[in-house]
Amino acid sequence: MRYQNPVIPGFYPDPSVCRVGEDYYLVNSSFEFFPGVPLYHSRDLINWEQIGHVLTRKSQLPLEGAPNSGGIFAPTIRYHQGRFYMVTTNVTGGGHFFVWTDDIYGEWSDPVWVKQMGIDPSLFWDDDGKVYFQSTFFDEKTQRQCIGQSEISLETGELLTETRSIWFGTGGKCPEGPHLYKIKGMYYLMIAEGGTEYGHMETIARSHSLWGPFESCPHNPILTQRDYTPTIQDYRDRTPDVIQGVGHADLIDDPEGNWWLVFHGFRPSQSMLHHIGRETMVAPVTWDSEGWPVVNEDKPITPWMELPGDNKKELPQNIFSFSEDFTEEKILPVRWAYLRNPVKENYAFSSGLILTAGKASLEDPGAPTFLGVRQRQFRCEAEAVVEFSPGSELQEAGITVFHTAEHHYDLIVTRRSGKRIALLRRRVCDLLVESAPVELPENGRLALQIRSDRLHYEFFAGPEGGDLVSIGKGRTQPLSTELTAGTFTGCFLGMFAQGEGAKSNFLSFRCEYK
């Protein structure tokens, strides 16, 4: 049976997974976006449905002043004695913490803080009920980054032992993303190395003691695409996707005793560039005669993968196209995200979704009036219908392809020389380019549209139900992660209002993937 990677496409990095009976639950990093830590459910590890977010309150997730790719790093989800735990790091708002819930569809607790240095935390319960905390750690003796571990109190987060270095990895840079497992009496410590770029990889070690010493797997790395060299033709449009940068993984078994690896990777748009973000993928795992895991029979990760067995049918997967009618809906579906903690009074449902501009714009490190969804595939068509009559040239509303505050393309409705117009504004680092304004009808609803492929975004505007005209085009290249200042996020498609006092009424939003 065949399935397609990524199983959760778009900006869904650093996956972690747990199983309760036949149900799997998965979380991802969310960085400066709110709510935090997307939460997914599956019954087969291939088809996933987002059921909410873990961090839904400002008391759990303060993001004020969070820079690009600040906020929430690398969560881990675990289930123990009827309770779910999620542990993560808010790198700009307090450090390590965990939250818990007894109802996966309900609210999670306020944070329990853990005072250990580093990022990428994980939790492990030993057979005696003691709980151990792993994260990245700086070893003072060797002056090297490694994985550190301490025993903690689950009630208070207090460290019950000092943090000890337990493994330095295999020599790759940035040993991180640790997860500890006990399998057949042995402790297995799996980590990411190489940096979350083209040298990314997953390595594993084991020990008879959870404090080590840990023996490195003789065929490390157990997962990487670093030696895979695609050709230029591989990146041509309409060809199968190339997968690169795989790593940051979590192991899980299924009810039949099979093992799986969830991990992230990315699909370059061209050459060495990617802009959609790091995406969640799955591969089967077997165990060799020496008790070491073998991922995907030690073959490369490809877009189409074979499940074990002789059935060659394709396993159905999620369809990610959607359409929202804001004149009927009064609650935003879980796919939508804000930039940092939203100013709630700037978002209201009436005869549609009313977005009121606040003090911050898309280029500010504050809380702009913005709602976006992660772009899931290269080829798509996104369209919003809006009622907006700008009161001045300073008032703006529209739709955007947003990567960071310094890298975004905005299709803007505003006013020039007293007329309602549309223009395309492209912000790339310290460069700002605006297209020639295109006059729009003074009254009536407008349709604003983005059409994308692997290499381009093109923007259209016009009266709802009428002919749309092209306002401008931009390459995907300047919105790529490799051209930003060390970001870990991907592109959003969204709606915004800016210029204090601007009030826009968005009636609908649809996104169709090709």
Query: Which among 492, 435, 490, 431 is positioned nearest to 461, based on CA atoms?
Result: 435
Asked whether the CA dihedral 81, 85, 87, 93 is positive or negative, the reply is negative
How far apart (Å, rounded) are the C-alpha atoms in residues 320 and 197? 26
What is the three-class DSSP state of 358? coil
How far apart (Å, rounded) are the C-alpha atoms in residues 188 and 293? 10
CB contact at 8 A, 347 and 353 = yes
Place of tokens 């990777």: 265
Residue 31 burial (CB < 10 Å; 0-12/13-18/19+)?
Answer: buried
DSSP string computed for 256-325 = TS-EEEEEEEE--SBTTB--S--EEEEEEEEE-TTS-EEEGGG----SEEEPSSS--SBPP-----EEEE
Q: Active-site positions?
A: 14, 176
CB contact at 8 A, 121 and 93 = no
Q: Please give the structure tokens belonging to residue 131.
A: 């709980």
How far apart (Å, rounded) are the C-alpha atoms in residues 277 and 281? 13
Query: Which among 361, 381, 379 is positioned nearest to 370, based on CA atoms?
Result: 361
Query: Which among 93, 97, 110, 86 is positioned nearest to 37, based on CA atoms?
Result: 86
What is the three-class DSSP state of 367? coil
DSSP string computed for 387-450 = E---SSTT-EEEEEEEEETTEEEEEEEEEETTEEEEEEEEEETTEEEEPPPEE--SSS-EEEEE
Q: Please give the structure tokens belonging to residue 330.
A: 């009064």
301-to-266, 279, 292, 316 alpha-carbon distances in Å: 11, 13, 19, 19
CB contact at 8 A, 10 and 279 = yes
How far apart (Å, rounded) are the C-alpha atoms in residues 332 and 324? 9
Bridge partners (DSSP) of residue 99 are 86
Q: Please give the structure tokens belonging to residue 9.
A: 């496409």
Query: Which among 140, 197, 136, 141 is positioned nearest to 169, based on CA atoms?
Result: 136
Q: Please give the structure tokens belonging to residue 121.
A: 């935390």
